[in-house]
């Protein structure tokens, strides 16, 4: 601190910014960063694989989330450390690009950091480690291409897609009905996929959930689901070949914008007014009927009189439908949103093969299914479950399964799971290390050891001896020249992952490798950490 004076002679204090900061340099900085990254990886390690544990997270306002999804765990953990934030970002980018493998990528990065720490202690420069890692990741990336397999699928033959989605779901809380959910995810993706262009617009798949029922009741609806019911209990519950008027104008007489006074001092005047009002309603209903609408979906409410009249004139109606849903309905049914009754024309009506109202058990809950829509291939996955937490977790798991199915449609190559691909890459990288004359050789070998972290974590989480199991599987892979041997987490009796049908997408696994290597390289290259001090 220093005392200085301004041009008017007033004293002021200069605080030297740098003194207020803590600073870590060189090896100390790298070690601190590595231990922060490792700490995050350690948390996620126990969640990996079909026998992985779940985490319970409580938000500041008391909401509880129970999940097994790496990206969600990290997202909800309130991490302060900058390097830890990088790991969170890493998991998020895997989620964004691929949608699955968010735990695996962090475990992999953690293992790479751990190995790097050992190399740093042996005096190898971080840049050499980073370069070695880069070379090794390229070798592993190419080796994955070699062991990957292609499979054919079609709209009628989608079993391989289902099997791959089942691998994703088998490590989630919802694995009890993974077959069901995997089929739903695959059918949903195929419904909206453009198979010629090999592209899928996941925005067309709406995932809805409602507490109640069983997880097994989760269904795929070829259309739109709206959490609303018919405005009058006596209106028909099912309409076939519906022509839908989608309105943003209310069913009510126009209201004067400024204050007006109506003097009603005789019975005739009152009756006159009532008749006028009645006529308004009647005209509105008539206008809808004239254009041929058989169902009205309205953004606004309408009072009892209008409701009664609609029922009487046999025009079913739904009220208070939100703007977003209204738009979705308009897109799906090929209709137009109409802001005024006068503007209604037959072409502006939406068309749906079936609109039905469904009640759930003994509750008052009812929902509207709009199916077989004219235009769009939009589908809805409707999740049922015992409580809100379960529904939220199912939504996250379904998201992963949808992403996997989409990835397979984009690129139908797979590698086998259960750590088999990692072990095979580890063997290949290890072999390649000997061919490199420089110091990078150590880093390449360390990369091979880091690749073993995923199968080891899988074994450990399944209650197996990690080192014994890994070495047994590795020697089996070499002996039998079979890159499909992995960890038999579920104690099926064979560790050939082809027989167990445990698949993962090639692009997902490759992305994991690339992302983990990039982040670790980034962390290794930081040798100066300047941060504001605690006080």
Strand partners, 209: 383
Interface of this chain with ligand ADP, residues 300 to 339, rule: CB under 6 A: none
Q: Estimate the crossing angle of helix 102-121 against helix 82-97, to 10 degrees.
A: 140
Interface stretch with ligand ADP, choices 48-56, 133-141, 294-302, 383-391 (CB under 6 A): 48-56
Among 33, 45, 70, 88, binds ligand ADP (CB under 6 A): 70
Tokens of 318: 């739904």
Active site residue 527: no
Least distance from ligand ADP to the Cβ atom of residue 505, Å: 11
- In whole angstroms, the minimum distance from the beta carbon of 200 to ligand ADP comes to 19
Query: How many Cβ atoms from other residues are within 10 Å of residue 61's Cβ?
Result: 5
**Residue 162 Cβ vs ligand ADP, minimum distance, rounded to whole Å:** 14
Burial class (CB in 10 A: 0-12, 13-18, 19+), 191: middle
Residue 413 CB, nearest approach to ligand ADP (Å):
15
Kindly state whether residue 411 participates in binding ligand ADP, applying the rule CB under 6 A. no
Closest approach, Cβ 202 to ligand ADP, in A, equals 18
- How far apart CA 381 and CA 424 sit, in angstroms, is 37
Among 30, 67, 164, 171, which residue interacts with ligand ADP (rule: CB under 6 A)?
171
Identity of the residue, 47 or 294, whose beta carbon is nearer to ligand ADP in the bound complex = 47
**Catalytic residue (one of 65, 67, 69, 218):** 69
> Shortest gap between Cβ of 493 and ligand ADP (angstroms)?
12
User: How far does Cα 117 stand from its chain's mean position?
Assistant: 34
Q: Give the residue from 315, 137, 355, 330 showing the smallest Cα distance to 225.
A: 355
Is 103 part of the annotated catalytic residue set? yes
Q: With respect to ligand ADP, which residue has the nearer C-beta, 297 or 459?
A: 459
For the window 334-373, what string marks contact with ligand ADP as x by the rule CB under 6 A?
A: ----------------------------------------
Residue that has been written with the tokens 């790496």 in this structure? 70
> Does the annotation count 69 as an active-site position?
yes
**Nearest residue (beta carbon) to ligand ADP:** 417
- Exactly one of 102, 167, 333, 517 is catalytic; which is it? 102
Kindly tell me which residue out of 36, 72, 74, 101 binds ligand ADP, with binding defined by CB under 6 A: 101
In the list 33, 72, 103, 424, the residue contacting ligand ADP (rule: CB under 6 A) is 103
320: left (phi over 0), alpha (psi -120 to 50) or beta: left
Q: Does residue 50 interact with ligand ADP by CB under 6 A?
A: yes
Q: How many CA atoms does the CB half-sphere of 292 hold within 13 Å?
A: 10
User: In whole angstroms, what is the distance from residue 448 CA to residue 423 CA?
Assistant: 9
Given 36, 48, 162, 344, the residue binding ligand ADP (CB under 6 A): 48
* Binding of ligand ADP by 47 (CB under 6 A): yes
Give the nearer residue to ligand ADP in terms of CB position, either 101 or 466.
Answer: 101
d(CA 466, CA 487): 10
Name which position in 207, 338, 456, 489 contacts ligand ADP (CB under 6 A): 489
Q: Please work out the total of residues on this chain that contact ligand ADP, with binding judged by CB under 6 A.
A: 27
Which residues between 430 and 449 bind ligand ADP (CB under 6 A)?
none
Long-range pairs for 151-156: beta carbons < 8 A, 24 or more residues apart: 151/412, 151/414, 152/412, 153/408, 153/412, 155/190, 155/195
194 is catalytic: no
**Judged by CB under 6 A, does residue 49 bind ligand ADP?**
yes
Give the separation between CA 334 and CA 66, rounded to whole angstroms: 40
The two structure tokens encoding residue 282: 């009647």
Catalytic entry in 65, 67, 72, 103: 103
**Residues 438 and 460 sit within 8 Å (Cβ to Cβ):** no
> How far, in Å, CA of 535 to CA of 532, rounded?
8
Q: Out of 95, 100, 229, 400, which one is annotated catalytic?
A: 400
Q: Which stretch binds ligand ADP (CB under 6 A): 326-334, 381-389, 469-477, 500-508?
A: 500-508
Residue 343's nearest CA partner among 247, 242, 244, 243 is 247
67 binds ligand ADP (CB under 6 A): no
Q: CA nearest 397: which of 405, 109, 139?
A: 405
DSSP state of 294: S
Q: Does 418 bind ligand ADP (CB under 6 A)?
A: yes
Q: Considering beta carbons, is residue 128 or 410 the nearer one to ligand ADP?
A: 410
Residue 262's alpha-carbon distances to 266, 270, 276, 305, 411, in angstroms, are 12, 10, 13, 21, 71
Task: Answer yes or no whether residue 466 interacts with ligand ADP by CB under 6 A.
Answer: no
458 binds ligand ADP (CB under 6 A): yes
Determine if 95 is a binding residue for ligand ADP (CB under 6 A).
Answer: no
Strand pairing partners for 314? none
d(CA 117, CA 33): 10
Q: Quick check: 408 binds ligand ADP (CB under 6 A)?
A: no
Catalytic annotation, residues: 69, 102-103, 400
Interface residue list for ligand ADP (CB under 6 A): 47-50, 52, 68, 70, 100-104, 167, 170-171, 417-419, 454, 458, 486-487, 489-490, 500, 502, 504
């Amino acid at each position: 601190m220093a005392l200085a004076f301004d041009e008017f002679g007033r004293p002021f204090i200069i605080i030297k910014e740098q003194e207020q900061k803590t600073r870590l340099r060189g090896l100390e900085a790298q070690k601190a960063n590595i231990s922060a990254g490792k700490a995050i990886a350690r948390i996620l390690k126990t969640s990996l694989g079909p026998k992985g544990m779940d985490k319970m997270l409580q938000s500041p306002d008391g909401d509880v989330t129970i999940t097994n999804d790496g990206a969600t765990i990290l997202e909800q953990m309130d991490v302060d450390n900058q390097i830890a934030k990088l790991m969170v970002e890493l998991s998020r980018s895997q989620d964004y690009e691929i949608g699955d493998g968010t735990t695996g990528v962090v475990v992999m990065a953690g293992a790479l950091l751990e190995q790097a720490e050992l190399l740093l202690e042996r005096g190898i420069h971080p840049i050499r480690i980073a370069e070695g890692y880069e070379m090794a990741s390229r070798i592993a990336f190419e080796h994955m291409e070699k062991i990957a397999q292609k499979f054919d699928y079609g709209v009628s033959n989608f079993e391989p897609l289902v099997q791959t989605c089942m691998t994703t779901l088998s490590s989630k809380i919802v694995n009890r009905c993974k077959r069901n959910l995997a089929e739903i995810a695959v059918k949903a993706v195929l419904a909206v996929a453009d198979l010629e262009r090999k592209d899928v617009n996941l925005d067309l798949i709406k995932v809805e959930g409602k507490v109640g029922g069983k997880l097994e009741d989760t269904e795929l609806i070829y259309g739109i689901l709206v959490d609303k019911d018919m405005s009058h209990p006596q209106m028909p519950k099912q309409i076939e070949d519906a022509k839908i008027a989608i309105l943003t104008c209310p069913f009510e007489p126009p209201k004067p914008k400024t204050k007006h006074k109506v003097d009603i001092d005789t019975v005739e005047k009152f009756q006159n007014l009532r008749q006028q009002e009645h006529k308004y309603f009647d005209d509105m209903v008539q206008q809808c009927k004239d254009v041929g609408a058989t169902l009205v979906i309205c953004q606004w409410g309408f009072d009892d009189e209008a409701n009664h009249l609609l029922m009487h004139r046999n025009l079913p109606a739904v009220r208070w439908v939100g703007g977003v849903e209204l738009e979705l309905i308009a897109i799906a049914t090929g209709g137009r949103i109409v802001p005024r009754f006068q503007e209604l024309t037959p072409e502006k009506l939406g068309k749906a093969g079936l609109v039905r109202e469904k009640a759930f058990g003994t509750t008052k809950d009812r929902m509207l299914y709009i199916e077989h829509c004219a235009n769009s291939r939009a589908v809805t996955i409707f999740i049922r479950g015992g409580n809100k937490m379960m529904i939220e977790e199912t939504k996250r798991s379904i998201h992963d399964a949808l992403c996997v199915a989409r990835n397979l449609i984009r690129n139908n190559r797979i590698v086998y799971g259960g750590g088999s691909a990692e072990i095979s890459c580890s063997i290949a990288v290890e072999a390649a290390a000997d061919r490199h004359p420089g110091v990078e050789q150590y880093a390449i070998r360390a990369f091979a050891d880091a690749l073993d972290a995923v199968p080891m974590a899988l074994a450990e989480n399944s209650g197996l001896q990690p080192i014994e199991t890994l070495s047994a599987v590795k020697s089996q892979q070499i002996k039998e020249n079979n890159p499909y041997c992995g960890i038999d987490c579920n104690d099926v009796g064979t560790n050939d992952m082809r027989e167990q049908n445990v698949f993962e997408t090639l692009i997902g696994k490759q992305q994991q490798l690339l992302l983990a290597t990039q982040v670790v390289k980034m962390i290794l290259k930081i040798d100066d950490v300047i941060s504001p001090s605690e006080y």
